[in-house]
Amino acid sequence: MLKYHHHVTAVVTDMRQETARVRSYELRDPDNWELPPFGAGAHVDIRLENGIIRQYSLCSDPGDRNFYRIAVQAEAEGRGGSLAVQDQLRPGAKVALSLPRNHFPLHVEAARHILVAGGIGITPFISMMEQLDQQNTEYILHYCGRDPASMAFHDLLLQPHRRGKVYFHYSETDQPNLLDLSQLAASAQSGDHLYCCGPGALIDAFLSATCALPPDTVHYEKFGGAAASGEGDIAFSVELASSGRTIDVGTHETILEALRRENVEVDASCEAGVCAACKTRYLSGTVIHRDLLLKGDDQKEFLIPCVSRCAGDKLVLDL
Amino acid sequence: MQGKVEYLHSTPRSFLPMRAFPELRLIPDVGIEGDRYATQSGFYSDRPEPGRQVTLFEVETLEALSRDHNIALDASEHRRNITTRDIALNHLVGVAFRVGDVLLEGTRLATPCRHIEQITGQEIFTVLMHRCGLHARIVQGGTIRVGDMVERI
């Protein structure tokens, strides 16, 4: 059972078929209350009733808190998440979101921003361009795709005020005009920051082409956002001793959050490793204790799942 | 001991920004009209406590965070409903007190939570220890307004 009060609750107020595979959705608070703030480049998790969680970049204006927009591309060959999201996100549908998180922010110190998008990787750049337009900051977008019909937001990017800033690169038209990433990197000037979002092959090529540039000026995000590197945390799993059930804990998720996601009830309060409300016995595995209260022998028997993690692949919890 | 109401805030659901109001209506044994904890839509609504119908917070704590820790936390960000001045809220546990014409009973101190750090994006958990406000039960309801007196009975 999905607990909406542990999420940002929104309703789908508009849906647009952007391309044959891409639909965009406008999400608002049920009472039109302003939504939590987000920075350009941020994403949210969408959690469906069946437990599927997917990440989508917010592609609306960060300055407008009345709605979020996301774009979902149907991936027939994927794990089924995008199809389930498209199936369930109908106008009027209630949606459970995470707070926006940003692993792909704009770097305000840049004199100029060079944005490279591949396919549905355009989405974080839409919010970035809104902000850059408003700040009158210089930018260039290179948008790569098969052909105009397959590329979402094509019309939006052709608006007059973006003339000279947006370049389209098609791979499957009569006269392909592929982006030359080596040339792009070679033409980068001091003060430029370069960003890439798209499929793995594009990001690999982008990183290879930009390897001679200062690393702190080169940024990328793979589809979904959550795959971006966090604080060095690794994913692992926890096994519930009573049932043998195994639950995966992602890099950006705590054990407590993973348990809640799977509807395993654990009492919790501070969620910061201080109060011990969620203190749980474990039976095997190597724990990285990050709480502020367990000492010596206690650490050999208990862990605090709101903050602590696993140094290996798996922990067995006495649950 | 007499204090006053500096700000009033409420929000209809968890995670949403708090909005400032000139007045709020308090319903005995329920909560604040329209607020998330009166409609079971708050982050902690699945752990209901009769003594958590309305929350209070000292504006002096915000000033201390700014002065001593260089942390800018706005009155809309601590997520309590009533921001007070000139009254020691920690002294009101187990005590009846008035806010304007409304009668409240302090039930327990509020504790900091990770939830507030997630929402504000600021590391404020530790600096809010022992000064994170007060939970109260609404004994006699009514409308409270910015500028109302807060007075221990």
Between CA A187 and CA A197 the distance in angstroms is: 20
Pairing, β A314-317 against β A236-240: parallel
Rounded-to-integer distance, Cα B62 and Cα B55, Å: 16
- Structure confidence by residue, pLDDT tens digits, B16-57: 999 999 999 999 999 999 999 999 999 989 888 888 999 999
Chosen from A34, A252, A271, A290 to mutate, greatest number of chain B CBs within 10 A: A271
Res. A223 pLDDT band, cuts 50 70 90: low
Q: Which A-chain residues 90-129 have CB contacts (< 8 A) with chain B?
A: 99
CA distance B74 to chain A (A): 15
- Residue indicated by tokens 């960000």: B77
Selected residues 68-127 of chain B with any CB under 8 Å from a CB in chain A: 111-115, 117-119, 125
Q: How many CB atoms lie within 10 A of CB B104?
A: 27
Task: Give the Å distances, CA to CA, from A84 to A7, A54, A199, A293.
Answer: 19, 10, 21, 42
pLDDT of residue A229: 31
Q: If contacts are CB pairs under 8 Å, which of residues 12-51 in chain B contact chain A?
A: 12-17, 19, 36, 40-43, 45-46
Q: Given this model, what pLDDT does residue A158 score?
A: 92
pLDDT for position B117: 86
- Whether A311 has its CB under 8 Å from any CB of chain B: the answer is no
Residue A226 has pLDDT above 50, yes or no: no
Task: Choose among A33, A37, A271: nearest Cβ to B114.
Answer: A271
Pick among B114, B117, B123, B127 to test the A interface (most A CBs inside 10 A): B114
State mean pLDDT over A174-186.
94
pLDDT average, residue stretch A22-34: 97
Of residues B83 and A272, more confidently modeled: B83
| Mean pLDDT confidence for B83-102 | 97
- Residue A231 is predicted with a pLDDT of 52
Q: Is the pLDDT of residue A228 over 50?
A: no
Assembly ipTM: 0.88
- As a whole number, mean pLDDT of residues A64-78 equals 91
What is the average per-residue pLDDT within A171-191? 94
pLDDT over threshold 50, residue A227: no
Model confidence pLDDT, tens digit, residues B66-75: 999 999 999 9
**Residue from B11, B15, B124, B128 to probe the interface with A (highest A Cβ count within 10 Å):** B15
Asked whether the predicted pLDDT for residue A105 surpasses 70, the reply is yes
Give the pLDDT mean for A167-191. Answer: 94
